[in-house]
Structure 1
Amino acid sequence: MYLYETLAKYQKGIDFKKSADYNFYVEHRHLFNSIEMYRSLFDVDNEFDVIRANIIIQALLNKKKIEELILYAYKKSYLKTEEALKFVDEHINGLPYILEGANKVFIPIFSRSINEYYSSKHGKLLCEPYNKLFDDFNSSCIDLFEVYNFELYDSLFTKLITVYKDENIMITYHFDFRTIYIINDQGRLDAKIALFDKYLNKPNYDHVIERIQPVIERYIDDDKDGMLKALADKKLISEKLINKIKHNDFKRIKALERKAR
């Protein structure tokens, strides 16, 4: 953990509270007042929680938009049922979603079965008991990060770029935050690798996805020294910061040895 905390501490020029992601979050975080399960995300103190919060916010915005379209198409317009279905389908295509086979999940705070009504069975949402989802939906909310986990982050619900994925972890990169995120199979953050520290002279931000590949390979191999070397070789962190990390590691090991005597 010390390694990742040090990289974050010395990262240069990144203030997540000045990012577009954070501005979106601040603009819409009042929506958490309507969703009990995730009310704790009304206040966040790190950029990964902003990413997570924005997934939920976008899900709520999708819900509102689809419901407005359904009410218009099926109740306020003179469209026939088939025309109403087509109208809603055409107008929800631009919304972020998760694709599971042929099914689109527009509202990941809900189960896959409920999402079917929002994506393809619109008319039934106007009938009992589904019409209760419009206003009274808290009891239908799920732990979306555990249920959908990797799929959430590998979608347009975030700006993350997936660079590696297996059954246990997903590794992504965020260009605005200049950080690698390692996400576990429950959709939670295992670690983050902040790049471009303040000691790095004339940082080069080009072709980052290609340059982080050897870093990720060493991380997967649990090769800390190899990962540090790859970070330095690809000019992603400075030699000075690496030396500082190694020096502090040496001091901590010696302190533990003295304590064990």
Structure 2
Amino acid sequence: MKIYELLKENRRPHLITPSREYLFFQEHEALLTHVPELIPFINSKDDFDLICANIIQSALLNYEALTKYWTTNSGTSDELPVKALFNYNNVPIYCPLFSVSNNILIGNNLGNKLNLTHDAIDLFEIYNFSLFESQLTSLVLVGEDIHTRAYYHYDFHAIYVVNDQGRLDVKICLFDKHIKRPDFRNVLERIKPTLNEYYAGNRIGFINALVKEKLISHKLYTKYVNNLKRRKIIG
């Protein structure tokens, strides 16, 4: 078993439902039913799916506001009803469900012909890291290499390693249920040495750093190391 699976299985319960992301998701859940491809997000119990769903919901809220504005305003001089959600290569992105070029049209009040059926893109593939580093999430960038970036979420107590296609490579769940009194102080500083080992490809150094920084319990550490010994991966 990989360390990531072991940490996920021993995760503390009740991390997701009281979070800001979950409350936002519940409030705007109906938006996802408008697009068949997004319906799987409704039933997902995964925290990273919830983060992605929030991004999509914010994009859909802006799309609804823009569509209503274009329907009721025939002129082109009025100010747009929404602000840009983030910038991508210095271009304001008002609705990441559309391409950069189409967002330029929106910014110039020329997007009234756009619709989700014909013009929608894979927003995670196109905008990838820009989405996760915007105001649309509560993620904090804590590490990176050429192709991935690692983000920490304070409420979910997890590190998400996202690739340059906007997909999740690895989820590292911290502060497992076997830690009686988890210490959440200075967590970002404590994460850094673990990610240094992760990006160096040092599996043993990574697990050692996790337990040294009190990010996982000694119980899980011992269980994992004993498993490696049984498989003769370490002596």
- TM-score normalised per structure 1: 0.81
Q: Quick one: distance in 2 between partners of 1:250 and 1:2?
A: 14
CA contact (8 A) 1:14 1:177 kept: no
Match of 1:193? 172
Return the offset for 1:71: 5.3
5 Å-filtered alignment, 1:140-179, equals 140-179=119-158
Q: Quick one: distance in 1 between partners of 2:145 and 2:8?
A: 25
CA contact (8 A) 1:36 1:138 kept: no
Q: Quick one: distance in 2 between partners of 1:112 and 1:184?
A: 20
CA contact (8 A) 1:37 1:138 kept: no
Residue by residue over 1:41-100, the C-alpha shift from the partner in whole angstroms, topping out at 9 and shown as x without a partner, is 23212111111111111100111223445556x45xxxx854x2xx33xx533x6x2312
Match of 1:46? 46
CA contact (8 A) 2:24 2:54 kept: yes
Residue by residue over 1:99-136, the C-alpha shift from the partner in whole angstroms, topping out at 9 and shown as x without a partner, is 12331112111111111222x211x234xxx1xx3xx4
Match of 1:3? 3
Q: Quick one: distance in 2 between partners of 1:168 and 1:105?
A: 23
Return the offset for 1:14: 4.0
Match of 2:21? 21
SS of equivalent residue, structure 1 residue 187: coil
Match of 2:103? 115
Residue by residue over 1:220-253, the C-alpha shift from the partner in whole angstroms, topping out at 9 and shown as x without a partner, is 01111111111112111122220011123334x2
**Based on CA coordinates, which of the two structures has the bigger radius of gyration?**
1
Match of 2:206? 227
CA contact (8 A) 2:143 2:150 kept: yes
> Structure 2: which 5+ residue stretches go unaligned?
none
Q: Quick one: distance in 1 between partners of 2:62 and 2:216?
A: 39
Match of 1:259? none
Corresponding pairs, count:
233
> Structure 1: which 5+ residue stretches go unaligned?
257-261
State which drifts further: 160-169 or 31-40.
31-40
Q: Quick one: distance in 2 between partners of 1:168 and 1:199?
A: 33
SS of equivalent residue, structure 1 residue 246: helix
**Alignment partner of 1:101 is 2:89:** yes
SS of equivalent residue, structure 1 residue 186: coil
Q: Quick one: distance in 2 between partners of 1:67 and 1:165?
A: 37
SS of equivalent residue, structure 1 residue 6: helix
Q: Which amino acid aligns with 1:121?
A: N
CA contact (8 A) 2:102 2:111 kept: no
Q: Quick one: distance in 1 between partners of 2:43 and 2:177?
A: 28
SS of equivalent residue, structure 2 residue 111: helix
Q: Which amino acid aligns with 1:92?
A: V
Return the offset for 1:20: 2.5
Q: Which runs of 4+ in 1 moved over 3 A?
A: 66-72
Give RMSD over aligned pairs: 2.2
Q: Quick one: distance in 2 between partners of 1:115 and 1:138?
A: 16
Match of 2:82? 92
